[in-house]
A and B are shown apart, each in its own frame.
Chain A
Amino acid sequence: MRQQAVAPAASWLPWSVVDAYTATSRYLRRGMRQPDVIFGSILIPIIFVVLFGYVFGGSIKIPGGNYRSYLMPGLFAQAILFGSNSVAVGIATDMSEGVIDRFKTLPIGRSAIVIGRAVSALLLGIPAMVVMILCALAVGWRPTGGLGNAALAFGLYELFGFAAIWLGILVGLLAQSSQAADVIMGIPTFLLGFISNVFVDPANMPAWLRVFANWNPMSALVTAGRQLFGNSIGPPPSGVWSLDHPVVTTIGLAIVIVAIVAPFCVCRYSRTSR
């Protein structure tokens, strides 16, 4: 047998961690080379602020409060949720090209590529979030609940986003094409995003929609955000456990989703035969 001239390096970290880091940095570098995508991800939240803050917002009356302050914690959640769409499309594109086949023939951990996708998607979403916050401040939104609570709120948004990203990866792996992934991901995110307390108080919705809107995890996240930022316009409707305990609900749900979906994604990705 031939002597190998290029010997594998030693590492003090487990290779699975190193591989996940390598995959993350690869996706980050890719992400930063797509200025059009970055531009779009920043532009869309700005459009939402203008559209709902000024176009529709002028006609929406909320009791005893500034609508734009009420709206902003909802738009943060909206931006986070819609961000998971592009992950689904991205991973579905990967699967349909030869890139993944090459990765599968390399001696890397089975989890590295999907973890790299998830972590890089989370990090690549941060610039859009920062622009969103600046926008919110520009239109008069103020977090009045203290810096610690504001930080906790953004932590919740990112945690929720991480769970949504994993769901996006799952859809991307199961979809037959990137177009299919876009549609399969688009419809639920649209429904979850709009049938919620993001834009309006569900109290004025018909009963069957109100039940959905109240129990919608987006509503729990937005309620948590409004409470922590000090933007609430009154107590949440009683009797809805997830809105009475929005922080616990958001953290618990996100952990459960990641704990179930992430291992499933790794299995699905590493299946040998297709």
Chain B
Amino acid sequence: MTSAAISVERLARSFGQTHALVDVSFEVRSGSVCALLGRNGAGKTTAVRILTTLLSADSGRAQVAGFDVFSQADKVRARIGVTGQTATMDELLTGHENLEIIGRFCHLGAATSRRRADELLREFDLVDAKDRLVKKYSGGMRRRLDLAASLIAEPEVLFLDEPTTGLDPISRREMWTALRGLVARGTTVLLTTQYLDEADQLADTIVVIDRGLVVAQGTPEQLKASIGRPHVVVTLPDLDAAALERVRGLLGDQAEIHGLSVRTPASNGLATLSAVVTQLERMGLPIYEVGLEHPSLDEVFSTVTGHSDEAGMTAPATGKDG
């Protein structure tokens, strides 16, 4: 057995004329968090549905927790937890009843199911709502209950399809906190997201997919580094063209002026920054701020997908992946 909890090789799947997955390969190390990042319709949900035994593939191989998702679906199902995009909890049952039934379906037995339900409700801050019908839950509470349900049998691998899409910022933060707690316990997590900051915050590795193809993968740092080095940015307190020109002269050929700031690539990172600070002090110019700016994942994303941010990748959206 390898140390990969998820291993995907050349997976392809079409729906009629729509090629949802063209050729996707990636691995997720056991105990790590991987984010499948892409815009709506990139193929994220199709990949998750195949890995969670809900959908067949046209070609390629996929293993989860050491078992083939096509020929050993039952073994895979016994080892995974899944939280999809749509709420899967029964509105006419209470939070506790929902969790208990999922536990019984996971063959934990009635007593263990009830115990696990209590534990998870406590962990996800739903104790006060445990005997309330789910139809009276807020959106954030439903997502947390859904997440709790996928954890009831302590799965080895957890799949989260856009866990925070459509949530308000506070609920999103709460969800992130809950997810970090899981990761600390060593669960392998594959999450899909269209939010770059979410991938950056939560994931050890990021697989960027676009139009059914993997266009980049690596750690958030590797992805940023592959796009460019950090920049030194010097910002002046007010618009003084002469002062800006002097700073640009100091920073060298590649320096550019943007409004009140001057930017230049920091070829040596922090060393470049401290050299710049020393020289600025010597010149005695009034300076508002000096800092090191790292390339954002937004830049990475628009570079690797070859199109800019027209779909509002970073803005919270409620759209669904096709």
Q: Which chain A residues have a beta carbon within 8 Å of chain B's beta carbons?
A: 1-2, 4-6, 8-9, 11, 15, 18-19, 22, 26, 29-30, 33-34, 97-99, 101-108, 112, 272-274
Given contacts A26-B101, A33-B92, A273-B56, whether A1 and B108 have CB atoms under 8 Å apart is: no
Task: Please report the C-alpha to C-alpha distance between residue A107 and residue B81 in the assembled complex, in whole angstroms.
Answer: 11
- Report B-chain residues with C-beta under 8 Å of the C-beta of A106: 77, 102, 105-106
Taking CB as reference atom, which chain B residue is nearest A97?
Answer: B86
Q: Which of A6, A34, A97 has the most CB of B within 10 A?
A: A6
Shortest CB-to-CB span from B174 to chain A, Å, is 21
- CB <8 Å contact, A8 and B52: no
- Report B-chain residues with C-beta under 8 Å of the C-beta of A105: 52-54, 77, 80, 82
Chain B positions 42 through 58: 1 when the CB is less than 8 Å from some CB of chain A, otherwise 0 = 00000000001111100
Partner among A5, A101, A273 whose Cβ is within 8 Å of the Cβ of B88:
A101
Give 8 pairs: A residue, B residue, CB < 8 Å, sorted on A.
A11-B109, A22-B104, A30-B90, A97-B86, A102-B82, A102-B149, A105-B53, A112-B105
Q: Which of A1, A15, A34 has the most CB of B within 10 A?
A: A1
Q: Is the interface of B mostly helix, strand, loop or mixed?
A: loop
| Interface check B186, CB cutoff 8 A | yes
Task: Please report the C-alpha to C-alpha distance between residue A97 and residue B133 in the assembled complex, in whole angstroms.
Answer: 18
Q: Which of A4, A34, A98 has the most CB of B within 10 A?
A: A98
Partner among A4, A33, A98, A112 whose Cβ is within 8 Å of the Cβ of B84:
A98
Q: Give how many A-B residue pairs fall within 8 Å (CB-CB).
A: 100
- Report A-chain residues with C-beta under 8 Å of the C-beta of B55: 272-274
Shortest CB-to-CB span from A82 to chain B, Å, is 22
Taking CB as reference atom, which chain A residue is nearest B49?
Answer: A101
- CB <8 Å contact, A99 and B85: no
Partner among A5, A11, A19, A30 whose Cβ is within 8 Å of the Cβ of B105:
A19
| Interface check B30, CB cutoff 8 A | yes
| Interface check B107, CB cutoff 8 A | yes
